């Protein structure tokens, strides 16, 4: 049986096993996907060697970039790996966060975007948008985080440039644990009035989610993130990060099985699932 896993610290909250194990059972693949808690960097290599493929989450995406035998595609530009496959005793690293995000917004006709935050997810999103010809502004209070963007000719500022944006992205951790907003309300109000879409990388979660049925119910009935709840009295259209999470997992699945299953096919399988249809009624 093939073995896969998601590696991080903390890891208990991860929804990836539910998604991957659902796909294995639906497609009749003899494989198992588990959460793997890795407290220290030293243990990482050994764990990766024991798996056929893995997803990597906080805080190891940049470390794994450094230990891959070969880094593929956009992961090279981002400098972070969230998906790995072991083939012929070599580790191949990929980044599916970037394309997972793009799949959520690709049909919106985005010409310019403002990214709030400058950590791992902001880097992946900024590189992806730049690649797609979108004009990107990054806002990061912390100037220590500016170098990555400067080196890639992406505009970065410690002050928000108040102008009209097609897409506003919250790529900070604000709203994850508490109801914090990423920037002061006065600025948000102005941005909400001048932007078409708001994408919040944060997604709501529920610790009781432990099966595909509970995940699908949650997918349909989930609550708004603090930022999306705050935006609801404005005409800006909103999306949270749950679909990005799902899409990065489907893209990783595609990579684990060498594109035997396409992203579109996997997405259709998920959205056509009977349970999701029942919940939508
Ligand atoms: P990082 O820790 O790499 O970066 C976090 C960024 O948020 C930094 O710029 C940090 O600024 C800023 N920040 C943190 N707290 C606040 C706050 N209260 N107010 C304003 N800014 C703040 O994290 P990631 O980029 O990896 O992840 C960010 C969020 O995105 C996480 O909550 C994560 O769960 C989510 N995520 C979602 C994904 C999805 O598939 N939907 C994929 C990846 C991540 P500073 O420099 O000042 O610390």
Cα 220 to Cα 18, 107, 270, 271, 275: the distances in Å are 16, 21, 12, 11, 10
What is the 121 CA–ligand 1 centroid distance (Å)?
Answer: 7
Q: pLDDT-based confidence at 281, cuts 50/70/90?
A: very low
259 is catalytic: no
pLDDT in tens, 269-279: 988 876 555 55
Using DSSP, state whether 235 is helix, strand or coil. coil
Angle at which helix 242-256 crosses helix 97-105, to 10 degrees, equals: 130
Mean pLDDT of 219-227: 94
2 pLDDT higher than 60: yes
Q: What is the mean pLDDT of residues 109-138?
A: 97
**Secondary structure of 24-67 as H, E, C letters:** HHHHCCCEEEEEEECCCHHHHHHHHHCCCEEEECCCCHHHHHHH
**How many other CB atoms are found less than 10 A from the CB of residue 259?**
9
**Residue with CA closest to ligand 1 atom 47:** 142
Alpha carbon of 2 to ligand 1 centroid (Å): 32
Task: Match 């690649």 to its residue by tokens.
Answer: 131
Residues lining ligand 1, judged by CB closer than 6 Å?
Answer: 58, 97, 117-122, 140-142, 145, 171-174, 176, 180, 182, 201-203, 241, 244-245, 248
If you average pLDDT over residues 88-94, what whole number do you get?
Answer: 95
Per-residue model confidence as pLDDT tens digits over 130-175: 999 999 999 999 999 999 999 999 999 999 989 999 999 999 999 8
pLDDT at 193 over 60: yes
**Cross-strand partners of 31:** 2
pLDDT of residue 243 exceeding 80: yes
Report whether pLDDT(208) > 50: yes
> Which of 103, 171, 173 for a ligand 1 pocket mutation test, highest count of atoms within 8 Å of Cβ?
173
Range in 65-79, 93-107, 209-223 the model is least confident about: 209-223
60 half-sphere exposure, CB direction, 13 A CA radius = 29
- Would you give the DSSP letter of residue 225? P
Identify the band that residue 207 occupies on the pLDDT scale cut at 50, 70 and 90: confident
- Please write the tens of the pLDDT for every residue from 46-81: 999 999 999 999 999 999 999 999 999 999 999 999
Lookup: tokens for 105: 């917004």
pLDDT above 90 covers a percentage of the chain that reads: 86
- pLDDT at residue 277 in the model: 55
Token pair, residue 228, equals 């999306």
């Amino acid at each position: 049986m093939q073995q896969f896993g998601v590696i991080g610290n903390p890891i208990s909250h991860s929804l990836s096993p539910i998604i991957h194990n659902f796909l294995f059972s639906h497609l009749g693949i003899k494989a198992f996907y588990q959460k793997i808690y890795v407290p220290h960097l030293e243990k990482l290599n050994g764990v990766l060697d024991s798996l056929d493929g893995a997803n990597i989450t906080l805080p190891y995406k940049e470390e794994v970039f450094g230990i891959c035998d070969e880094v593929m595609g956009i992961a090279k530009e981002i400098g972070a790996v969230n998906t790995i496959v072991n083939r012929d005793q070599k580790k191949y690293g990929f980044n599916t966060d970037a394309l997972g995000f793009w799949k959520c917004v690709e049909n919106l006709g985005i010409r310019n975007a403002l990214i709030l935050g400058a950590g791992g997810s902001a880097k992946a999103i900024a590189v992806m948008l730049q690649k797609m010809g979108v004009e990107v502004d990054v806002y990061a209070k912390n100037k220590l985080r500016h170098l990555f963007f400067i080196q890639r000719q992406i505009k970065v500022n410690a002050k928000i440039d108040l102008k009209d944006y097609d897409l506003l992205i919250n790529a900070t951790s604000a709203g994850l644990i508490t109801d914090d907003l990423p920037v002061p309300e006065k600025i948000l109000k102005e941005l909400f009035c001048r932007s078409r879409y708001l994408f919040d990388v944060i997604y709501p979660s529920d610790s009781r989610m432990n099966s595909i049925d509970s995940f699908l119910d949650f997918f349909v009935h989930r609550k708004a993130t603090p930022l999306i709840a705050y935006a609801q009295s404005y005409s800006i259209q909103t999306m949270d990060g749950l679909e990005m999470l799902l899409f990065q997992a489907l893209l990783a699945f595609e990579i684990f099985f060498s594109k035997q299953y396409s992203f579109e096919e996997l997405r259709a399988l998920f959205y056509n699932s009977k349970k999701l249809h029942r919940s939508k009624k």
